[in-house]
Structure formats: structure tokens, C-alpha cells
Amino acid sequence: MLDAAVYLALTYLLASIPFGLVTTTLAGGDVDIRTAGSGNLGGTTVARIYGWRLAGLVIALDVAKGFLPVAWSLVAWPGAGAAWHGAVLLTAFLAHCFPIWLEFHGGKGVATGAGGLLALTPVAAVPAVGVWGRALAATGRSAGAALAATAAVVGLAWRFDPDVLPVVGALALGIVTTHVSNLRRLVRGEEGAVVRPVRWRRGASTEGPERPTAEQVLREGPAGRSAAIWRERVSDPLEPTVPPDEE
């Protein structure tokens, strides 16, 4: 069996792998995510530059960086308490935020922390992931969704798994710390969206204070984008029609 210190060292080295940079480089991306936007190496930056298909892979790999070390520690040290497994989780989180391979400049740690919590306390983590998804859909802002999920997981751990509450609290403090700049932008209304909020809004086909016409409403989808499902021209039933032979 591995010594505990060796295991923590291996966890740090493996969780330091910057999958955001590695994945975009292997995909042939011509933009270095370290020099784009905030320079964050997580899935949000990848989504802004390369889209959600590639970002989804990055997020999955970052989740695995937290999940696998904690899951294996639960198998290898079944009698250890939450403090030991929490130390593994926090090591993976810190490794993602401060990777040795990139001079200790990494990401925000949300996905990696979430992966560790999924292994350590799924009863709290799974509903919190749902909160993250709902908040992201409602606001379109990744930072706001992450902070909402962080608050949710603390409350859920306090209610359903109090043994891990100190670990969850420490992780929550770390996530808030890495999101200080995002919090400032959220307060100023300057935080950019990574997805379009799910709302019934009309697009740019109507300019100014004028109300949309019936044809515009029928041609647009729920998010205001043009929908391809309506092809028939909408005619005014009171408008006089011209017989074909008189045209």
C-alpha cells in the first residue's frame, strides 16, 4: 500500500495536469488559452474560445482529476476518516489551481472540486450539480452558477452528511477565493455570459420600442433566434385578396 504522503504527492502531480491547455493544443487550436481572456485554464475559457464541445471534454477530465484520487483513497483506506479523504480532495483542488507544470498558474478548481465531492459525498454533490446546471441556464454566467452550487453543497452537507462539513467548508472557501475577481465583475454587471440564458426573449428582428408582428413572433424561437419550423407566410385575414387570374 502506498504511503499517505506519497499518495498525496502523486495526487498533486496528476491533478496538476492542465487538461484545458493539453486538450486545446492536441485539437490544433491556434489560441493559447493562457493568454486569452482571464487566462483561466478551465472549461469556461475553453468554451468561450473553442465552444462547448471541446469544453465538455475538458470539464470531464477536470472532474476526473478530483473524482479518481478520492475514490481510490476510499478503496485503499476504507477505515480512514473524512479528514484523510478530504485532504486528498483538497490536494487535487489546489493542484488544479496551482499546477507545478505551469508555474503554479491554473484554473478556478470548480470542476476538480466537484469531482472530489462526487466521490466523497454524492448525497450532497449530486443535487448541487443540479443547482449549477439550473443557475447556468438561468443566468448564462459560469461564475454565478459555481457560487450558487457552492452555497448549495455546503447546505446539503450540513443537512445530510455533517461528517464531511469541515472539508466541504474548506473547499467552498477555496472556490470563493478563486472567484474574487468574478464576484467583483458580477457586482458591477460586467461578468460575461458563456451560454445564452433560457428566456422567452425576442431577437434583433424588432428594433426600438415597436412590438413584434405576428409573423415575427411565429418565425422566432423561444430564445429570439430564427426558427426553421415555420415556413408559411402569415396573412392578414382582413386584407383583400387578389384572384390568381387578376394578378
Q: What is the pLDDT of residue 209?
A: 45
Q: What is the pLDDT of residue 223?
A: 47
Angle in degrees, CA 48, 53, 55, rounded to 5:
50
Please give the sequence-ordered ranges of beta strands (E in DSSP) within the chain, or none if there are none.
none
Residue 197 CA to residue 91 CA, distance in Å, equals 34
Identify the residue whose cell numbers are 507545478. 100
Q: What is the pLDDT of residue 247?
A: 44
Query: pTM of the prediction?
Result: 0.78
Angle in degrees, CA 156, 113, 135, rounded to 5:
60
Q: Which amino acid is at 94?
A: L
Phi, psi dihedrals of residue 220, rounded to the nearest 5°: -100, 145
Q: Going residue by residue through the chain, which has 247 residues, state the pLDDT in tens, using 9 for 90 and above.
A: 579 999 999 999 999 999 999 999 999 888 888 887 667 888 888 988 999 899 999 999 999 999 999 999 999 999 899 999 999 999 999 999 999 999 999 999 999 999 999 999 999 999 999 999 999 999 989 999 999 999 999 999 999 999 999 999 999 999 999 999 989 988 888 888 877 776 544 444 444 445 555 555 555 555 444 444 444 455 555 665 555 454 4
**Burial zone of 206 (CB within 10 Å; 0-12 exposed, 13-18 middle, 19+ buried):** middle
Q: What is the pLDDT of residue 40?
A: 82
Q: What is the pLDDT of residue 189?
A: 84
